[in-house]
Amino acid sequence: MAQIISMYDIQRIKQRFGIIGNTPALDRAIDIAMQVAATDLSVLITGESGVGKEVFPQIIHQNSARKHGVYLAVNCGAIPEGTIDSELFGHEKGSFTGATDNRKGYFEGADGGTIFLDEVADLPMPTQVRLLRVLETGEFIKVGGTKVLKSNVRVIAATNVNISEAIMRGKFREDLFYRLNTVPIFIQPLRERKEDIYLLFRKFAADFAEKYRMPAIQLTEDAQHSMAAYYWPGNIRQLKNITEQISIIEHQRTINAEILKQYLPEQMSSNLPALYNKDDNEKSFASEREILYKILFDMRNDVNDLKRLVAAQNYVEMMPNREPMTVQEPEIIDTQEIKDESLSISDREADLIQKALEKCRGRRRNAAKELGISERTLYRKIKEYNLDEEEKDE
């Protein structure tokens, strides 16, 4: 039967472990930690960096039957990949360069206690296999050893990585995830605990005032609003650091929004929609315009060429008794010329005949040959389009 955790118990835990906040999600996380403490189930704590995940393994351990045993917190991301197996499981003398003696690992040394594996997603794949075996059977083998050892250790893990994505990328074993995630605890980011932000600030300000023997800093109302609107990418850790900076640097003890703004990175100063800086983006937009203009100019030239080729081909197909004709590559003309130019077939035909006559200096036979038509057809077309011109002697 599940243990009933009262609000009094939750408040007692907050006071004991220095937890500040009254949001329902925070109370729920504490309640789960208290419920699971009486068991030996594995727990996976998730949440962004700086939200205070490291407090919850201590709550679980101190309220469990293992509270008199060893409690070890191991930052998996801080141990080099080449030595992580030796750190966790120990090694035999001579198993690798520098192994001058036998060494106990954390699992052997914490027998009967609790191990907190922080940033567990940073473990290399071979180590994940070893960890899975310990979780399932309690057995492990030292690096360079052959003897199977047993360890009665409770494992609590934490990560700020999206484990599902890590599994899809092949960076984390799915079976290990399910084994660790027997009981999940999620810690909200600070931006989702707006009503707790000012409470945390006041606690940190009082602590630093005592530490540095100075009056505690206070926030004006506009500064409180600015603090609540800030995104807090570093969560509680960032809030604590900023409070310490202001406590030490500022001479005046009442902090307004303008002073506070100096300590908040501008690029993430609020959770409102981000505004771009016009000056910073002018060059980018100008560059994009140039690329678009070039594309449009090239397209215009292609369309001009296509229109002229199609017009010439249509003319050739209309001419009776035509002879093979070579269509010369047309020159590229301005867009305005195409816009004002008539697209009538008859106008184009008359224009071509006129140009052929001018080229052949009025010699109709040569013009007819140039156009690929018979002289009779040329004469008829000249009369039809009123292009009568005195024929030159050949």
Mean predicted lDDT score pLDDT of the chain = 84
Query: Which has more pLDDT, 98 or 149?
Result: 149
55 and 175 within one domain: yes
**In this predicted structure, what is the pLDDT of residue 330?**
47
Q: State whether 86 and 97 are in the same domain.
A: yes
pLDDT tens readout for residues 297-341: 566 666 666 666 666 566 555 555 545 444 454 454 444 444 455
| pLDDT-based confidence at residue 290 (cuts at 50, 70, 90) | low
pLDDT of residue 378: 80
Asked if 375 contacts 365 with a C-beta cutoff of 8 angstroms, the reply is: yes
On whether residue 287 sits in a domain, the answer given is: no
Between 276 and 390, name the one with better pLDDT: 390
Domain of 70?
Answer: 7-188
- Closest C-alpha to 139, from 154, 149, 128, 129: 149
- Please indicate, yes or no, if residue 160 is contained in any of the structural domains: yes
Same domain, yes or no, for 310 and 250?
no
**In terms of domains, do 74 and 119 share one?**
yes
Q: Is the pLDDT of residue 176 over 90?
A: yes
How confident is the model over 72-101, as a mean pLDDT? 92
> Residue 39 forms beta bridges with which residues?
none
Which comes out higher in pLDDT, residue 138 or 308? Answer: 138
Q: Kindly tell me if the per-residue pLDDT of 52 is higher than 90.
A: yes
Are 46 and 176 found together in one domain?
Answer: yes
The predicted pLDDT at position 276 comes to 42
Q: Give the pLDDT score at 310.
A: 64
Residue 390 belongs to a domain: no
| Residues 331 and 375 grouped into a single domain | yes
Count of the separate structural domains present in the chain: 3
Q: Does residue 244 sit within a domain?
A: yes
Residues 106 and 223 in one domain: no
pLDDT band of residue 14 (cuts 50, 70, 90) is very high
Average pLDDT rounded to a whole number, residues 279-307: 56
CB distance 185 to 43 below 8 Å? yes
Question: Does 160 share its domain with 237?
Answer: no
CA atoms within 13 A on the CB side of 202: 10
Q: Between 378 and 65, whose confidence is greater?
A: 65
1 found inside a domain: no
Q: Are 155 and 112 in contact (CB under 8 A)?
A: no
For residues 204 and 68, give the distance between their C-alpha atoms in angstroms, rounded to a whole number.
31
Residue 150 counted as domain residue? yes
Structure confidence at residue 274 (pLDDT): 42
Q: Is the pLDDT of residue 393 over 60?
A: no
Where is mean pLDDT largest: 258-267, 370-379, 381-390? 258-267
What pLDDT does residue 301 have?
67
Question: Do 209 and 93 lie in a common domain?
Answer: no
14 domain-assigned: yes
- The verdict on residue 391 lying in a domain is no
